[in-house]
Amino acid sequence: MTLPQTIKLIAITQHGGPDVLRPVNAPMPRPGAGQLLIKVAAAGVNRPDVIQREGRYPPPPGASPIPGLEIAGEVVELGAGASRYRLGDQVTALVTGGGYAEYCVADEPTALPFPAGYDAIRAAALPETFFTVWQNLFARGGFGRAKAS
Amino acid sequence: MVGGDYIQRNLNCVAEDGRIHQIAFLQGGKASVDFTRLMVRRITYTGSTLRPRTLEVKAKLAEALEDKVWPLLASGAVAPVIDSTFPLEAAAEAHRRMEEGGHIGKIILTI
C-alpha cells in the first residue's frame, strides 16, 4: 500500500472552547524503532483531551501536542524492531497523543489486538479505561478477594 | 475522580483500613480537609495518572490486560458502553457532548 504524504488531523489551534479544535493537514507521522504506524478507524475522546484543549494539561515531554490518547485501526507500517504485528492487523493502542488523526504512531507494547468480535469503535473505547482501571485497582491498589483477618 | 469538596466526603465514607486512589480532580485538587480520619481509620490515600508513565509500565499493564481482561471482552462478560460517535471533523461537537456531562459511556471519533 502506498501511504499518503499528508494526513488530516484535529489540532488545538489555541487554548479555549470546543471550537478551537480544527481540522488541519499535517505530514504523515513515521514510526520510530519499536513503533507501529496505524491507520486510525476510531479514536476515543477523554476528559484529559478537554483539559488539554483548555490549556490546563500540557502534554508530557516528548508527547504529541495533538489530542487523542487511544486509537483503533490497521497496522500499515512497522518501525525498526517491531515484530509482534503484521501489516493489516487490527489493533487498539494507548498513545501519549496524536489520536485525533487519520494516522497515528503507537509504541508496539501498548498495542493490543481487537478482542474477538470487536469492531474499531468498540476497540477504541478500551485502552484508557482498562489501562487506568487495571493500574489503579489491581497493579497499585491490591484489589481482590477479601483476605480473612 | 471528582476532587474539590469530595476529598473530604471520600475520607468520611472510607472503611477502616480502606484505600483511596485518586485518578482525576475534575473539581480541582485544592480543598480544606480534616485528615484526622486518615489516622483513625488507617486509610491509605494515593493516586496516579497514566499518560506520563514509562513505556515499561504501560507494557506490563498491556500484558496483564491481554491475559486477564481480553478473554472477558471476547466472551462478552465485560463490555464497553458507547455513548455516541462523531466523525473526526466534528471533534468539537464530541467535546461539547463530554462537557455537557449528559453522556453515559464512551464518546468515539470515527474516520
Q: In chain B, which residues have their Cβ closer than 8 Å to the Cβ of A68?
A: 109
Give residues 98 to 137 of A whose Cβ lies within 8 Å of B.
Answer: 100-102, 107, 109-113, 115-118, 120-122, 124-126, 128-132, 134-137
Residue A102: which of B88, B84, B95 has the closest Cα?
B88
A18's grid cell: 470546543
* Contacts with B, A 63-82, CB within 8 Å: 63, 67-69, 73
A67-89 pLDDT tens trace: 999 999 999 999 999 999 999 99
pLDDT higher than threshold 90 for residue A140? no
The predicted structure's pLDDT at residue A43: 98
Minimum mean pLDDT range among A55-64, A78-87, A122-131, B82-91: A55-64
The per-residue pLDDT for A144 is 72
pTM of this structure: 0.90
Q: What is the mean pLDDT of residues B10-39?
A: 90
Using an 8 Å CB-CB cutoff, list chain B residues near A10: 88-89, 91, 109
Average pLDDT (A122-126) is 98
Residues in chain B within 8 Å Cβ distance of A138:
64
Confidence at residue A149, expressed as pLDDT on a 0 to 100 scale: 52
Reported ipTM: the value is: 0.94
Query: Which is higher by pLDDT, A120 or B25?
Result: A120
C-beta separation of B64 from A140 below 8 A: no
Report, as an integer, the average pLDDT of B42-51: 89
Cα–Cα distance, B29 to B47 (Å, whole number): 12
Q: Do A19 and B93 touch (CB under 8 A)?
A: no
Residue B61 contacts by C-beta under 8 Å, 6 or more apart in sequence?
A131, A134, A135, A139
